[in-house]
Chain A
Amino acid sequence: MPMSLSEEIQRIRNLPPELQLAAAQRYISAEPDPEMRLVAETMLMIGAGSQEKKHLVVLVHGIRTFAVWQELLAQELRNFPNVEVFPIGYGFFDAIRFWCPFLTRKGPIERVLRQLRNLRAKHPTADISVVAHSFGTYILAQILRDETDVRLHRLQLCGSIIPPEYRWDQVAARVGLVVNDAGTRDVWPVLATLMTWGYGASGTFGFKTSEVKDRFHDCSHSDFFTAKHMRKYWVPLIVDGQVVLSSWSAKRPGPGFLMTYLNLLPLKSILGLTLFVAAYRLLA
């Protein structure tokens, strides 16, 4: 396994003085990326990296999945010794429990909350960041809204079903940088909004608020889970707090008739009203 930059700097600095320059030159000349070369040289010369704070990265998945992407991201973060990854699951959560607005959503929320509190208890000084997908974003939004002891360093959302009107301003003091990767071809957040209560299509249209950085991609609900995407967008955010811009954000086309219509269709209200009328007639 290759060493991380901070480990390499420590190794060079621990060599006898007469060997350090040659070792540094070998390391720097082997770096193919000119920008990373500049960064490595700077870090080396200021002797940085030796005391990086412990950073726990919690991964929360969506429904109807066992989330193989969690292991892929853990793999991409393995070269950062201060980063420790914790995939959190809540079992196979089916569409019925996802749809039902009462009771069934509570179990996963409590499980993730318990895990976050356990991690905080075990690592009281560490930073805790979260990467959440789909229903995992809903879980995190509920936890942040209701549990004021939960504090997050960074939050990466993708395929988000959090309502766009979510009050990020009310939780801003407890969560640092929030980035929302939205897929302009992602129909699932729109369908979730259409079919039931409590969800929103922020994973398709963004939040459009100053507290969250929306970043749009030409992809659908689970297309974020490639090593390429993680390496380009998620690893810089988690490790350095760097928001790498997506060129698609500026050139993306409008949402199109179908997406817009589906998002505005009050299907659940019609359904609710129909059920109410039917129940009233039965009882009357």
Chain B
Amino acid sequence: MSSIKLDSLISEFPEETEAVQRLVRFIEANPSEDRPPREVTAQRLFDQARPSSQRALAMILARLVQSGVLERIFRVESEALGGIGDFESIDKIPPVMFDSRTGRDIEVKLDQVRMIYKLPR
């Protein structure tokens, strides 16, 4: 995918050259316009990239989000499994939500929040 400026990321984070290459390979794998965007957790991206510095990869992912290559959401999950709401930032998550899967209001805890990256089609 030419939209990922691999060279500029590598020149800014030269120690993470291999991590950036692994990350881009993973992001670019099997794209298809027929399918909805793939969704992966942040942990999955870290596992795929295997950076030497987690902080550096967090900065690289921030660049990709800012440039529109990746979309990032915060998904609140029900205790009965499955998402009950998506939010663009952690501070937009309300303290109490209706859990449509259990039929009751819940107090949202940080452990129920997943950070999801939507990969390009």
Instruction: Report A's interface with B, CB cutoff 8 A.
Output: 5, 12, 17-18, 20-22, 24-25, 28-29, 34-35, 37-39, 41-46, 48-49, 176-177, 213, 239-245
Contact = CB atoms under 8 A, between A and B. Distances in A.
Contacts of A24: 90, 110
B54 interface: yes
A43 B90 contact: no
A240 B59 contact: yes
A45 B115 contact: yes
A42 B43 contact: no
Contacts of A42: 42, 58, 61-62, 115
Contact of B66 (A35, A41, A49): A35
Interface string B44-81: 00100000111110110111011000001010000000
Contacts of A20: 109-111
A25 B110 CA distance: 10
Contacts of A17: 109-111
A48 B53 CA distance: 10
Q: Is the interface of A mostly helix, strand, loop or mixed?
A: helix
Interface stretch (B7-15, B23-31, B32-40): B7-15
Interface residues of B, number: 36
A48 B90 contact: no
A250 B98 CA distance: 55
Contacts of B62: 35, 38-39, 42
B110 A176 contact: no
Nearest to B65: A38
B109 A41 contact: no
A20 B109 CA distance: 7
Given A42-B62, A242-B56, A21 B13 contact: no
A45 B42 contact: yes
Contacts of B16: 241
Interface of B: 11-16, 42-43, 46, 52-56, 58-59, 61-63, 65-66, 72, 74, 89-91, 93, 95, 107-111, 113-115
B107 A49 contact: no
A8 B43 CA distance: 20
A135 B42 CA distance: 45
Nearest to B58: A42
Contacts of A34: 66
Contact of B13 (A18, A25, A49, A241): A241
Given A45-B115, A46-B43, A243-B11, A18 B109 contact: yes
A41 B54 contact: no
Contacts of B43: 46
Contacts of A44: 90
Which 4 pairs, one residue from A and one from B, show the smallest C-beta to C-beta distance? A38-B62, A20-B110, A45-B115, A42-B58
29 contacts: A17-B110, A17-B111, A20-B109, A20-B111, A21-B90, A21-B108, A21-B109, A25-B91, A28-B89, A28-B90, A38-B58, A38-B65, A39-B55, A39-B58, A41-B74, A42-B58, A43-B54, A44-B90, A46-B54, A49-B54, A213-B11, A240-B56, A241-B14, A241-B15, A242-B56, A242-B59, A243-B12, A243-B14, A244-B12
Nearest to A5: B55
A177 B113 contact: no
